A and B are shown apart, each in its own frame.
Chain A
């Protein structure tokens, strides 16, 4: 069985696999380097281990305990967010923080310290983790929390799976009274408007995110600002779980010519115009609100066999009022590199706890590009330079190409982190950036 990354780039060879049968078994002694692997939803090479072994956590899929009164769930690391939602929602609980797909494991969510649309009020997933067990390749089992083995705790949160294997974790769910979201969508046509909307919305809305059109040739960015809250019982008191059985799947790779600068431009134009009114309010189920792409199970194959690259960065914007961001937008427009989907959001001031966690206060933009090869890598390298110049960072879970100098600058606690790496663990990303 092959284990590519979600973006199908880079393509690596000689990955052995070992399925860990349960959480009490030790990691076998192998001659190659090891890397834990959950669902492989990381886009680039942080979930790849060329010439090494992937430790598959699919059998670590058991719940351990759940406290109905506090919402504290203890479960094995291979359990998926999909499964947690199916369990928690009928009981009136939701994930405290979720990325844009529910097909991630608990272990992966911790290793990448994932964030969601509520970063400005909830921080990262790691902020909600109370404790976990870290299994090291020498058989040692460390119970880590903010009190016990706290150094390993903060190295492992956002630690890209390099500090050992998380066997189980304990974290707190959020109480909900409805599984529906009261949502508003507002068109904006400049970065300044986006920033004003963000600032206003973050006080009253738990979730905010924006879709932006970055292929439009007009001088400023335009997009749709989306904000929402869980419905109050008066609006909806229904606790309805998503239905996993109705997936449409993209079974084959699409031909590469389907996504070209014309079709991307057309898609963006249509998406912007679908909001016929300037301001629209409605009630939606959490599934399309949080996971719009999950309903097309293998959407990553739309980009064809050459794969695609994601690029997500964060930059502080308060000092320059978004000047660096505008520079990146105009660079992308000049280079004709169209992004099919561009997602913009502001991160709040809650400081990340992990030594290598990505989120920090500022504005974050996520883009994806068909893999055009060298010309794309050059443009992204130029973007990296702008991000570096304003003390931003690029998200390793979505990276396939940044240079080691950039990585060192984005993650200044790198040397401190290195002390906690398991001597037998490594990844393709790690060997590239270190």
Chain B
């Protein structure tokens, strides 16, 4: 039986991933902010076959408690096989361009909190000598564009950090996976017009579980985004800066 720590467990994608592990009778530790929602999700995962579900409700942007919470988790569970970092916000991109508080909120929720958590998680993983750290990043981190570059730069930071962490942890037997997600039809994107390119949370979740199992380094989900990003990245900057995307 594997032990899986899901951080940002109330997100729609994290819930779908947790359902797959629960159906496989694994043990899950859920970390999110909303304790009522965590209770609803725990009940659901138990019905679906999860062997043991526990939860921690605490704001992930409260960096001061990260070290003690991670210590607590490892003290209680002694080992963790998989850690999935799934929290994040889209925020208000227009506001983040001009408002310092919104900009900091976006950076903290999409980058700083992740790096802070990983500072402690990576030490625990190295001590145990095995395990996988999977981070949900975004295709928005591949190239900055006017529609959401504050969010995108946080995700770009995330990509650089996970690449570096993977490189450092490789000799220790700990694997690091970067999940570059395209837009997915979830409450996070409820105000966005849905196109055919929007992923569905259950199939994206299947892709995540399979990438974790296969120890992939970086995956694009839905897969089509790998090709879309090849095209977007190949546009010369002299042209790109004139585009409205």
Asked if residues B48 and A63 are in contact (CB atoms below 8 Å), the reply is yes
Q: Given A22-B36, A24-B36, A87-B48, decide whether A64 and B190 contact each other with a Cβ distance below 8 A.
A: no
Assess the B187–A21 pair: CB atoms within 8 A. yes
Q: In whole Å, how far is A170's beta carbon from the nearest beta carbon of chain B?
A: 13
Chain A residues, Cβ within 8 Å of B12: 59
- Distance in angstroms from B43 CB to nearest chain A CB is 6
Determine which of B40, B48, B187, B193 lies in contact with A23 in the assembled complex, contact meaning CB atoms within 8 Å. B40
Q: Does A218 interact with chain B (Cβ within 8 Å)?
A: no
In the complex, A66 has a CB within 8 A of chain B: yes
- Contact in complex: B43, A62 (CB < 8 Å): yes
Which residues in B have their C-beta under 8 angstroms from that of A59?
A: 12, 187
A22-B40, A63-B43 given; A251·B187 CB < 8 A? no
CB within 8 Å for A64 and B43 given contacts A19-B190, A87-B48: yes
- Complex Cα distance, B238 from A319, in Å, reads 81
Q: Is the CB of A62 within 8 A of B187?
A: no
Residue of A21, A63, A66, A87 contacting most chain B CB atoms (<10 Å): A63
Cβ of A65 under 8 Å from chain B: yes
B196 contacts across to A, CB distance below 8 A: 251
Residue of B nearest to A24 (CB): B36
- Number of residue pairs A-B, CB distance < 8 angstroms: 32
Task: Check A147 for interface membership: any CB of B closer than 8 A.
Answer: no
Contacts of B37 in A (CB 8 A): 21-22
**Within 8 Å of chain B (Cβ to Cβ): is A1?**
yes
A74 to chain B, nearest CB (A): 9
Q: Which residues of A contact B43 (CB under 8 A)?
A: 62-65
Q: Which of A1, A19, A24, A245 contacts B187 (CB 8 A)?
A: A19
**Which B residue sits closest to A79, measured CB to CB?**
B44
Assuming the contacts A1-B193, A19-B187, A251-B196, asked whether A63 and B44 have C-beta atoms less than 8 A apart, the reply is yes
Q: Which residues of the partner chain B approach A1 to less than 8 Å between Cβ atoms?
A: 193-194
Complex contact B194–A62 (CB within 8 A): no
B47 proximity list for chain A (CB < 8 A): 63-66, 87
Nearest CB of chain B from residue A427's CB, rounded to whole Å:
22
Given contacts A24-B36, A251-B196, contact A64 B44 (CB under 8 A): yes
Interface of B is mostly: helix
Instruction: For B194, list chain A residues within 8 Å (CB).
Output: 1
Docked complex Cα distance between A349 and B37 (Å): 44
Q: Which of B187, B194, B203 has the most CB of A within 10 A?
A: B187
Chain A: interface residue total (CB-CB under 8 A): 15
Interface size grouping (class) on chain B: 10 to 19
Name the one of A19, A21, A62, A245 contacting B44, with C-beta atoms under 8 angstroms.
Answer: A62
Question: A58: nearest residue on chain B (CB-CB)?
Answer: B187
CB contacts under 8 Å to A, within B36-59, are 36-37, 40-41, 43-44, 47-48
CA of A64 to CA of B36, assembled, Å: 13
| Residues of chain B in range 180-219 having any CB-CB distance to chain A below 8 Å | 187, 190, 193-194, 196, 203
**Cα distance, A21 to B193, chains bound together (Å):** 19
A59 to B10, CA, bound (A): 11
Instruction: Please indicate the chain A residues that have their CB under 8 angstroms from the CB of B44 in the complex.
Output: 62-64
CA distance A64 to B41 in the complex (A): 9
Contacts of A66 in B (CB 8 A): 47
Residues of B within 8 A of A87 (CB): 47-48
CB-CB nearest in chain A for B12: A59
Shortest CB-to-CB span from A227 to chain B, Å, is: 34
Q: Which of B41, B190, B203 contacts A62 (CB 8 A)?
A: B41
Cα-based distance from A112 to B58 in the complex (angstroms)? 41
Provide the bound-state CA to CA distance between A22 and B12, in Å.
Answer: 12
- For window 137-183 of chain A, which residues contact chain B by CB distance below 8 Å? none
Question: Measured between C-beta atoms, what is the minimum distance from B9 to chain A in Å?
Answer: 13
Distance from A24 Cβ to chain B, minimum over Cβ atoms (Å): 6
Per-residue contact bits, chain B 42-79, to A (CB 8 Å; 1 contact, 0 not): 01100110000000000000000000000000000000
- Min CB gap B39→A, angstroms: 9
Contacts of A21 in B (CB 8 A): 37, 187
A87 and B23 CA atoms in complex are apart in Å by 9
Most chain A CB within 10 A, of B43, B47, B190, is at B47
Q: Which of B12, B40, B48, B194 has the most CB of A within 10 A?
A: B40
A60 to chain B, nearest CB (A): 9
| Min CB gap A84→B, angstroms | 11
Distance (whole angstroms) from the CB of A56 to the closest CB of chain B: 9
**C-beta contact mask, A261-303 vs B, less than 8 Å → 1, else 0?**
0000000000000000000000000000000000000000000
* A82 smallest CB distance to B (angstroms): 10
* Min distance, Cβ A40 to any Cβ of chain B, angstroms: 14
- Closest-by-CB residue of A relative to B40 is A62
Residue of B nearest to A244 (CB): B202
In chain A, what residue has the closest Cβ to B194?
A: A1
Instruction: Kindly report which residue of chain B lies nearest to residue A23, judged by CB atoms.
Output: B40
Considering only residues 1-58 of chain A, those with a C-beta below 8 Å from chain B are 1, 19, 21-24
| A1, A245, A251: residue with the most chain B Cβ atoms closer than 10 Å | A1
A/B interface sample: 9 pairs, CB < 8 A: A21-B187, A22-B40, A62-B43, A62-B44, A63-B43, A64-B43, A64-B44, A65-B43, A65-B47
Contacts A21-B37, A64-B47 aside, 8 further interface pairs with beta carbons under 8 A come to A1-B194, A24-B40, A59-B12, A62-B41, A63-B44, A64-B44, A65-B43, A251-B196
State the 9 A-B residue pairs at the shortest beta-carbon distance, nearest first.
Answer: A62-B44, A63-B47, A63-B44, A66-B47, A62-B40, A1-B194, A24-B36, A64-B43, A19-B187
